[in-house]
Structure 1
Amino acid sequence: MAETNGAAEAPTEAPQAPKMNVLAQFIRDLSFENILAQKGVSGEVQPEIQVQVNLDAKKRSAENQYEVVMKLKVDSKSAAAKEQLFLLELDYAGVFNIEGIPEDQMHPFLLIECPRMLFPFVRRVVSDVTRDGGFPPLNLETIDFVALYRTELQRRQAEMAGQKADA
């Protein structure tokens, strides 16, 4: 037990604990093209898969509400002939109520923590769509959103430095 030296502890104004609720999540846009079936290619094909991820976040008109969109592009080509097998494009959005995050930390929170919450659902959609599209289900590797955020910051800083050098 902690001693209070006989004096009652004065209540202190503690900072509000961060709080996040997912209010909604949905597929905003989805496109899947089975190019392999359209061309009529048959036989064993070894796929080479590239995944591109872009994130976007914006404040909504309601207080403490934000929308985060994960844009995923999955491009699969045959390893040998480099022929297109399939192309999947998915925009998956989430609406979040976020409280208790300082303004200077909101940007990384929106682009790291919110996509982490959406990712398991994005992974399931990709798996289901590729399976239903005639391919083995594609189970996406876990995405390191912290590294993705840092890479994007570095890219923007380099871009800004390049613009200043041109001026």
Structure 2
Amino acid sequence: MAENGATAEGTGQPPVQMNILGQFIRDLSFENVMAQKGVGGEVQPDVNVQVALDAKKRSTENQYEVITKLTIESKNKAGGETLFVLELEYVGIFNISGVPEDQLHPFLLIECPRMLFPFLRRIVSDISRDGGFPPLNLDNIDFVGIYRNELARRQTPADETVN
């Protein structure tokens, strides 16, 4: 008979546990360039979203800080004028245990941002709406793809990029 919840099935590893201890906006900037410059008439927005991820160990055991940085720029398709720029740094504090050391890095940069994404999406929607634009509802972000791209970028030898 198996012990009740003592280890992950058949691996001898303790079960993975993740708790979100807190989350907050570390930095937020919204510029309504359209209003400042007086851009008028019919606009068709073209939105560019850039995502950067970072994680670091906190001084308390099993606690980690995961940072998601968004830079969103909306331009008018017709003339290329910038409509707005939104920069957001959102932080989650996690208590994580039971994750093998070799899997901790991808766990922090994939699973943790995935858990925070609905909150991030809501903030972006509210800020864009409150800034005078229709609410911007972000599409799902492929955190696995971002992680893989960053690994590939780091593995590219520096001498290939400098000629």
Pair in the same fold by TM > 0.5: yes
Give 1:143's aligned residue: 141
Cα distance in 1 between the residues matched to 2:125 and 2:55: 25
Task: Give 1:116's aligned amino acid.
Answer: R
1:99 paired with 2:79, answer no
Following superposition, the deviation at residue 163 of structure 1 comes to: 4.1
Shift in Å at residue 40 of structure 1? 1.2
- When residues 131 and 10 of structure 1 are mapped into structure 2, their CA distance, relative to the original with a 3 A threshold, is closer
Which 5+ residue runs of structure 2 have no aligned equivalent? none
Residue of structure 1 aligned with 2:88, choices 78, 87, 90: 90
Moved over 2 A (4+): 9-14, 162-166
RMSD: 1.8
TM-score (norm 1): 0.89
Match of 2:58 among 41, 60, 68: 60
Stretches of structure 1 lacking an aligned partner (at least 5 in a row): 1-8
Q: Aligned letter for 1:56?
A: D
Identify which of 130, 133, 136 aligns with 1:132: 130
Matching residue's letter, 1:46 = Q
The structure-2 alpha-carbon separation of the partners of 1:115 and 1:165, relative to structure 1 and needing over 3 Å to count, comes to closer
CA drift at 1:165: 9.1
**d(CA) in 2 for partners of 1:165, 1:131:** 41
Give the structure 2 partner of residue 28 of structure 1.
26
In the alignment, structure 1 residue 37 sits paired with structure 2 residue 32: no
Alignment length (residue pairs): 156
Aligned equivalents of 2:161, 2:114: Cα separation in 1: 36
- TM score, norm. by length of structure 2: 0.91
Match of 1:162 among 150, 158, 161: 158
- The whole-number CA distance in structure 1 between the counterparts of 2:119 and 2:23 is 9
Name the larger-Rg structure: 1
Query: SS of the counterpart of 1:108?
Result: helix
Aligned equivalents of 1:148, 1:19: Cα separation in 2:
24
What is the CA deviation profile of residues 68-114 of structure 1, one whole-angstrom value per residue up to 9, with x for unaligned ones?
A: 00000000111011111000000000000000001110000000000
Residues 41 and 16 of structure 1: is their aligned pair in 2 closer, same or farther, counting only changes over 3 Å? same
How far residue 162 of structure 1 moved from its aligned partner, in angstroms, is 2.5
Deviates more, 1:12-21 or 1:107-116: 12-21
Identity %: 65
**Residue of structure 1 in register with 2:75 after alignment:** 77
Q: Give, in whole Å, the separation in 1 of the partners of 2:55 and 2:142.
A: 17
